[in-house]
Structures are given as C-alpha cells and as structure tokens.
Amino acid sequence: MTLKFALLGAGRIGKVHARAIAGNPDAELAFVADPVADAARAIAEQYSCRVSTIDEIAADPTVDAVIICTPTNTHADLIEMFARAGKAIFCEKPVDLDVARAESCLKVVRDTGAKLMLGFQRRYDPHFAAVKKAISDGRIGEVEMIQIVSRDPGAPPMDYIKTSGGIFRDMTIHDFDMARFLLGEEPATVYATGSVLTDKTIEGVDYDSASVTLTTASGKHCTISNSRRATYGYDQRVEVHGSKGAVSVENQRPVTIELAAGDGFTRPPLHDFFMTRYVEAYAAEIAAFVSVLKDGASPSPSGEDGLRALKLADAALRSAKQGVVVVL
C-alpha cells in the first residue's frame, strides 16, 4: 500500500522533500499547500499532485502523513493541528525557537500518540551514518572525544538572521544533534564563545563564528567549530576519537579530480550548498519516515531530540553572552 503524503510549504526545502517523496516507491505526493499559489502549482504540475489547503488536508481521511516545510513560527501550531488530526508528521527543525512552546507542543504529540519525526537530515547522510555505524559496531571502542567542524560557504541575508534565533539555534543546532547522536550520552556542561568576524553588520544581532565545548557526566568531550564563511565550500566534518581508534567523515565535493602543476596538486572546492551536499540524506530521511509509518520504527530524530538540541542551543547562547560555563 502506498502512503499518501501532503506537503505543507512549497519553498526551497519543500521542493527537496517533494522529489524525495516522488522517488520513494512506498510514498505518493497527493497534495501540496502554500500561500504562494505559483509555488504550490509548480510542485503540483511537476509531481502530478493536487493543490490544496491546510484545513482540507487535515480533514482528508486519505492523507497518511504531512511534511511541514513552512516558516519556523508556524511549526508548533501545525504539529499540534496534524497530531490531533491523526496524521504522521515530518517537520523541519525546529519545533519552535522557544523551549516552553516546544514543550507544550510535544505534550500534545505525546497525548495524541502522533508520530513525529524532526528534520535533522545529517543523521541520514550515508557518510555520517557510517560513522555512527562504526561506533555502534565497536570499531573505535568507547567514544571519548568528538570534533565537529561545520562551516557555511557564506552568511544568510540579514532578514533571515534576524528571525533565525541566532547561530546556535539555527546552525549549531545541527551539530548539537550530531553530538548527541554520536556521544551516546547527554551533555552535562556547555561552554560557548561567539564572535563577529566575517560581517561586522551583524554585530549585536548575532555571531558568525562560534566555538562550543560539551562535556558529559562520564567525562567525554565534544568541540564544535562554526563559521558562516568558508571560501572553499560547505565544510561538514566530524571526527570521533575512541579507546580503540578514531573515525572521521571526509568532506564531499561534486567533482573529484586532481590537477598537478607547478604550484602543486589541486582538488576542486567542496559542494557550495547544503542541498547538493545532502541530496542523498534528504532521500534517506524520507525513506526513514516512511519506515516509521510502515514498519513502526521509532522516529529518529524525535521531537524530544529536537527539544534537547534546542536546549543546548539556549545554553550555548547564555554561555557565550555571559562568559560562563553552563551546567545543565
């Protein structure tokens, strides 16, 4: 039986998910809704689905699941609405930028028994997933120290930054999820420091460069290094050091040739965009969500995972602002 999906939000990330659904043999994109009529229509035409509204979708008994790709400030309301409507929900991160609101929303999810999966796609990237598997398989022994480097090719526009919740809630939050995913233990302390190095116009609004250290009760460490600028492309690395060895992810580039000349040996820059870097991850993420519906798998990351990452982001912001170590 093919599962019927509705897509809420036909923007950039909505298109990515539409393609993933269309390419999944167990799923069918039945509806798309977006206040921007042209955007909805474009997706409807490309994937032969119907333009609809949020209310109609919630009321339609044939709809199995919704993919929420709307603006962040609508996520919690939509999650509650579709949880009550009995639909399975995949929502782009975060549930909400406010911890209290996220918690009240997740209470509704629990009370309704709805299935909710959050969009930290990096867990489904084949390379990061292989790191996780190497750890689970005992290849590096006990995890001890993790280094995460995550750098964007360039900063988003000021308008985006102002509503993003800041670098820790917008960008580092992916690294917090990855840290929890790989540490296998909750962080107990957070130290963070932030600077404005790449674009002075955001001074006072946000940081563009951040370093974070997490520690756990058993003494594991995780450091995260973020920058909103990397001239060489989208830098996404993780390295896990354990008692028996270490495992790391190499950066990805669209073309892997090497040119040798008098000035040395040069390989091309990395992907310049998260959507091309994580194209396999987005497809695998939807496949995992389909598996939640079909096979009863637990959603990973869950709403709770999203909440915990958000709390780490809040702690990091407090640490950076006040120059203190935050004990959780």
- The binding site for a copy of itself (CB under 8 A) comprises 25, 46, 126-127, 130-131, 134, 139-140, 142, 144-145, 147, 149, 151, 189, 191, 193, 195-198, 209, 211, 213, 215, 219-221, 223, 225, 227, 229-232, 241, 243-250, 252, 254-269, 323-325, 327
- CA distances to 62, 107, 216 from 69, rounded to whole Å, are 20, 21, 33
| Residue among 100 and 257 whose Cβ is closer to a copy of itself | 257
| Residue among 58 and 279 whose Cβ is closer to a copy of itself | 279
| Residue among 204 and 262 whose Cβ is closer to a copy of itself | 262
Angle made by CA atoms 313, 314, 319, in degrees to the nearest 5: 95
Query: Is the peptide bond prior to 94 cis by the omega test (within 30 degrees of 0)?
Result: yes
- Between CA 91 and CA 276 the distance in angstroms is 20
| Residue among 115 and 220 whose Cβ is closer to a copy of itself | 220
How many other C-beta atoms lie within 10 A of the C-beta of residue 48?
10
| Residue among 93 and 271 whose Cβ is closer to a copy of itself | 271
Considering the complex, what minimum distance in angstroms separates the CB of residue 134 from a copy of itself? 6
Question: 143-151 and 116-119 as β-strands: parallel, antiparallel, unpaired?
Answer: unpaired
Question: Do the Cβ atoms of 89 and 68 come closer than 8 Å?
Answer: yes
For the chain, report the end-to-end CA distance as a whole number of angstroms.
45
| Residue among 80 and 285 whose Cβ is closer to a copy of itself | 285
| Structure-token pair, residue 5 | 């999906």
Considering the complex, what minimum distance in angstroms separates the CB of residue 271 from a copy of itself? 12
Considering the complex, what minimum distance in angstroms separates the CB of residue 140 from a copy of itself? 7
- CA distances to 88, 206, 209, 225 from 148, rounded to whole Å, are 32, 21, 14, 6
Considering the complex, what minimum distance in angstroms separates the CB of residue 261 from a copy of itself? 3
Question: Do the Cβ atoms of 93 and 109 come closer than 8 Å?
Answer: no
| Residue among 99 and 145 whose Cβ is closer to a copy of itself | 145
Tokens 């190499």 sit at which residue? 250
Considering the complex, what minimum distance in angstroms separates the CB of residue 42 from a copy of itself? 12
Considering the complex, what minimum distance in angstroms separates the CB of residue 53 from a copy of itself? 27
Considering the complex, what minimum distance in angstroms separates the CB of residue 93 from a copy of itself? 24
